[in-house]
Amino acid sequence: MTEARERALQRLDAYWARGRAFLGTRYAIMGGAMSWVSERNLVAAISNAGGFGVVACGSLAPDQLAAEIDGVYERCDKPFGVNIIVIHPELDALVATCVERRVGHVVLAGGLPPKRTIETLKQAGTRVVAFAPTLPLARRLAKQGIDALIIEGMEAGGHIGPVSTNVLAQEVLPHFDEVPVFVGGGIGRGDAVALYLAMGAAGCQLGTRFVCATESIAHPRFKQAMIRANARDARLSVQVDPDFPVIPVRAVANKATERFEAFQRETIARYRQGEMELGEARLAIEHFWAGALRRAAIEGDVEDGSLMAGQSVGMVTSEQSTSEIVAELLDQAVNALALSAERGAAGLADGNRPAHRPLPASA
């Protein structure tokens, strides 16, 4: 390793020291929980590779979650977490399952976490992570005892907020130091990890980048659809009428995306013609995507299911092992930091700027 890369690695270690200490991992890279995909195999693979795997339990009952947690313990002895959607009808039972099984970290997603949930987890010694959509809410969550935050921009896959990762990072990172902050949404390369760390992030969360990992149980057709897709294919769900709400979800466009718009129009027309009640029409639209992620990700129906993915899908170009993905992210982060130091040393005069080129990994 060259001296430049050695120094860059030291800088990277210093940048994410807080995140690593919080997660208890070698790298402060969280594998964002993905319903159906982030089960025992992928979670264990991410944690074994030095990152932090997170079990998705959006669709699991408490006994299924217990089995999944046990499955991770059987496959790895490294730290990992569980993601719980706070509107889950069995929230308390899921939390109790995590406590009983001594899960170290619980990520509370899908809304602001109830006070009682935070308290139960903290009393059990579990580290609690939540999503902060704005700076004031980040402050409020830190006051309520949340141990770390994730800020996630609208480039991300799945259910998203309205603000980009870039803007959220600028709004939160320079002004907030109370607890470690992890940045997610649209991150496909280590260069971006290095960038957010340099801005003050404790680490990053990536989802889409891990979907096509060899260890991911996603259906081969789902993986192929991801490998084929470009950033611009990962589109936001379209709401055709302000009176008929549609939850914003980012997914690779397919036949179901087209049908969804037509379905909304037909349903709204039926309501206007008096064939349906307002509530019934709204519910029909809400239910259109029920079970759709499972249909695509597990059953392989990539035309009628939901191909949830972030814009970083354009950077998913092949099936790779999880350890390869993590090693690649690390290499890119070190490279980016070495290059920026090299640029700094060369001075900012245009004539002195080194051309943008990757340093050879063996250098």
Ligand X SMILES: Cc1cc2nc3c(=O)[nH]c(=O)nc-3n(C[C@H](O)[C@H](O)[C@H](O)COP(=O)(O)O)c2cc1C
Contact 265, 244 (CB under 8 A): no
SS3 72: helix
Least Å distance, CB 155 to ligand X, is: 6
CA–CA dist 193, 187 (Å, integer): 7
37 binds ligand X (CB under 6 A): yes
Between 132 and 206, CB nearer to ligand X: 206
Choose which of 28, 56, 183, 329 interacts with ligand X (CB under 6 A).
56
Q: Which is nearer to ligand X, 251 or 338 (CB)?
A: 251
Task: Kindly state whether residue 118 participates in binding ligand X, applying the rule CB under 6 A.
Answer: no
Q: Measured from the CB atom, is 130 or 339 closer to ligand X?
A: 130
From residue 124 to residue 163, what is the string marking binding to ligand X with x (rule CB under 6 A)?
Answer: ----------------------------x--xxxx-----
Q: Where are the alpha helices (DSSP H) in the chain?
A: 3-15, 17-23, 40-48, 62-75, 91-100, 115-123, 135-143, 165-172, 190-198, 220-228, 255-272, 278-287, 292-297, 322-346
Q: What H or E segment, with its residue span, contains residue 81?
A: strand 80-85
Min. distance of Cβ 126 from ligand X in angstroms? 17
| Cβ proximity of 213 and 322 under 8 Å | yes
Residue 107 or 284: the one with the smaller Cβ distance to ligand X is 107
CB of 80 to ligand X, least distance (A): 14
CB of 207 to ligand X, least distance (A): 2
Q: Chain-centre distance of CA 186, in angstroms?
A: 9
Comparison of 5 and 190: residue with beta carbon closer to ligand X: 190
Q: Which residue is nearest to ligand X (CB)?
A: 207
- Contact status: 312 vs ligand X (CB under 6 A): yes
Of 213, 190, 224, 205, nearest to 331 by C-alpha is 190
Contact 114, 86 (CB under 8 A): yes
Q: Can you tell me which of 4, 12, 34, 149 binds ligand X, judged by CB under 6 A?
A: 34
Residue among 142, 92, 140, 148 at smallest CA distance from 120: 92
> Smallest gap, in angstroms, from Cβ of residue 66 to ligand X?
18
For ligand X, the binding residues in 282-311 under the rule CB under 6 A are 308-310
Rounded to a whole number of angstroms, the minimum distance from the CB of residue 192 to ligand X is 10
* Identified binder of ligand X from the candidate list 58, 62, 200, 314, rule CB under 6 A: 58
Does 65 engage in binding with ligand X (CB under 6 A)?
A: no
Taking the chain, what is the end-to-end CA distance rounded to the nearest angstrom?
Answer: 5
Binding-site size for ligand X (CB under 6 A) equals 27
The nearest distance, CB 316 to ligand X, in angstroms, is 10
Name which of residues 171 to 210 contact ligand X (CB under 6 A).
Answer: 184-187, 205-209
Closest separation between CB of residue 222 and ligand X, Å?
Answer: 9
DSSP 238: P
Residue pair 178/170 in contact (Cβ under 8 Å)? The answer is no
Q: 105-109 and 127-131: which strand pairing?
A: parallel
Q: Which two tokens stand for residue 123?
A: 């009393």
Residue corresponding to tokens 């959509």: 133
- Nearest alpha carbon to residue 310 among 250, 230, 224: 250
Residue among 37 and 337 whose Cβ is closer to ligand X: 37
Nearest CA among 31, 81, 46, 29 for reference residue 331: 29
Instruction: Please check whether residue 40 is in contact with residue 55, taking contact to mean a CB–CB distance below 8 angstroms.
Output: yes
Q: Which two tokens stand for residue 172?
A: 């939160």
Residue whose CB is less far from ligand X, 22 or 152: 152
Q: Is 109 in the site for ligand X (CB under 6 A)?
A: yes
Q: Cβ 287 to ligand X, closest distance in Å?
A: 18
Residues at the contact surface with ligand X, assessed by CB under 6 A = 32-35, 37, 56, 58, 83, 109, 152, 155-158, 184-187, 205-209, 308-310, 312
